[in-house]
Amino acid sequence: MKVLFIGDVVGGPGRRGLAAAMPELRERHAPDMVVVNGENSAGGMGITEKTAKAIFDAGVDVITSGNHVYRHREVYGYLNRSDRIVRPANYPYANPGRGYTVVEVGGRRVGVINLSGMVGLKVARSPFIEVDSILEKIECDFAIVDFHAEVTSEKVAMGWHLDGRVAGVLGTHTHVPTADARVLPQGTAFISDVGMTGSRTSVLGVKPELVLEQMITQMPVKFETAEEDVWVMGAVVTVNDAGLADAIEPVMVPAPL
């Protein structure tokens, strides 16, 4: 079974790029399941019901998120209603949404777990302790983890922590694809960051001149999503009958816009 995991979709350009690229990605990789991080899909920061539905309409099975998930209050009710969108499981339990879900694909129950790193980000509980608790109770044939974290050391540590227990640990949040994709010794596919789906003529999806102005002047600047040279980035994980990974292949393709 193949799972296509797509990194942070940034704004309208990212949504349109994802939709445009999906036919080619399906033809090339023949994924049985598609998981997309959509936490930046609304104007480059946050997610709404409208942008989530646009992602689902592109043929996506599950949406993961991260630290910007609560940017737009209008999405709170949708996070509670939908069982196909998840937010970091180690946020306060009373927060809107759920931290993991299980969907049936091709006769197999696939768990999708969302976690936030604790280095440089605000969480209620350690992601390491939280994922242990989830794996004790989740009922699925295999699980995929979106680890939304700042630092590579924490991401790599999570890969080793979960090696042999989940099919894949895929890093998101930093928007820059890393070159460390591999299957760990006990069968867990790992990559520190799959990258983003958005403009490469940008600084992490934002118009470069705006980011430069903010960094140089250290004054508040309203960011706008860049639109040129949109690419779709992610990874394909091949999962065997034992629920572990046989292979991981990074994905980086220009969107045919």
pLDDT in tens, 198-248: 999 999 999 999 999 999 999 999 999 999 999 999 999 999 999 999 999
Beta strands in 94-136 (DSSP E): 100-105, 108-116
pLDDT in tens, 96-132: 999 999 999 999 999 999 999 999 999 999 999 999 9
pLDDT band at 74 (very low <50, low <70, confident <90, very high): very high
- Quick check: is 68 catalytic? yes
Residue 242 has a pLDDT of: 97
* Catalytically annotated residue among 68, 72, 148, 173: 68
Q: Please provide the average confidence, as pLDDT, over all residues in the chain.
A: 97
Least Cα distance to 132 among 149, 145, 120, 123 occurs for 145
Is the pLDDT assigned to residue 257 strictly greater than 90?
Answer: no
Least Cα distance to 10 among 56, 41, 54, 50 occurs for 41
pLDDT in tens, 130-149: 999 999 999 999 999 999 99
pLDDT band at 68 (very low <50, low <70, confident <90, very high): very high
Span 185-193, mean pLDDT?
Answer: 98
Report the residue count for the chain: 257
Is the pLDDT assigned to residue 2 strictly greater than 90?
Answer: yes
pLDDT more than 90, % of the chain: 99
CA distance 10 to 32: 24
> Residue 160 carries which DSSP code?
H
Q: pTM (2 decimals)?
A: 0.96
What is the SS3 assignment for 214?
A: helix
Apex 254 CA angle, 246 and 55, nearest 5: 75
Q: HEC string of 12-46?
A: HHHHHHHHHHHHHHHHHHCCCEEEEECCCCCCCCC
Q: For residue 80, what are the CA distances in angstroms to 40, 65, 84, 85, 87?
A: 19, 14, 10, 9, 10
